[in-house]
Amino acid sequence: MIGRLCGHIVAESPDGALVIDVNGVGYELLVPMGTLGRTACDSEGRVTLHIHTALRQDSLELFGFASEHERRVYRMLVAVPNVGPKTAVNLLGAIPPNDLAVVIKNGDLARLGKVSGIGKKTAERILLELKSKVAQLQGPGKLEPQMTAPSLDTQTRVVLALTSMGFKPVEAQAAVRGLGEDLADRPVSDLVREALARLSR
């Protein structure tokens, strides 16, 4: 089992796949959107990612996270019936752990349903299974009993996701403008991928 990797990021794609070079060996990982923006580099430019190893009959997949807490929340998500590894990664890319705690606490079915790969039944199952685990989801800090996450419009959320990856605000805003209007009904994770494709042209 691989629990942690420390090295240099040598490749990254818009779909969340990246390659981390550890002493000459390249490990391919799938990470939630914005992970590298939340991960600090050491003096030599290396990042440390917490790894979940998924071993199947015909494959070995690695999933990377910015913190031990994020990996723990990921493992809680994949333990929910009908939530697969990639769906859980998409969810954490769209709704960070502390925000997810608020979503679960408030039973916010609509916000869960906007995440790519999560239908109404799966969203309901996530709320049911994790309702008693809000304290574990929130991690460091206090979750106010009646507080909800700040309501940001879709465009602002996409811009924030892009700037957390290292893009300049001007670049992020220009890419989002290129996505057209009526963004509110589209999943943020899908919009971020489209914006990244524009920025990589």
Residue 33, pLDDT above cutoff 90: no
Domain 154-199 has CATH 1.10.150: no
Domain covering 4-65, topology: OB fold (Dihydrolipoamide Acetyltransferase, E2P) (2.40.50)
Is the pLDDT at 181 greater than 80? The verdict is no
Q: Is the pLDDT of residue 164 over 80?
A: no
The yes-or-no verdict on residue 150 having pLDDT over 50 is: no
pTM of the predicted protein model: 0.69
- Residue 6 vs residue 39, higher pLDDT: 6
- Token code pair at residue 194: 């489209």
Confidence label for 177 from pLDDT (cuts 50, 70 and 90): confident
In one-letter notation, the amino acid at residue 3 is G
Q: Which of 60, 59, 5, 64 is nearest to 29 (CA)?
A: 64
- pLDDT tier at 126 (50, 70, 90 boundaries)? very high
Residue 44 DSSP code: T
CATH 2.60.40.10 fits domain 68-138: no
DSSP E strands in 13-71: the ranges are 17-22, 25-30, 47-55, 60-65
Summarize pLDDT for 53-110 with one digit per residue, the tens.
988 777 889 999 999 999 999 999 999 998 989 899 999 988 988 899 999 999 998 8
Q: Where are the domains of the chain?
A: 4-65, 68-138, 154-199
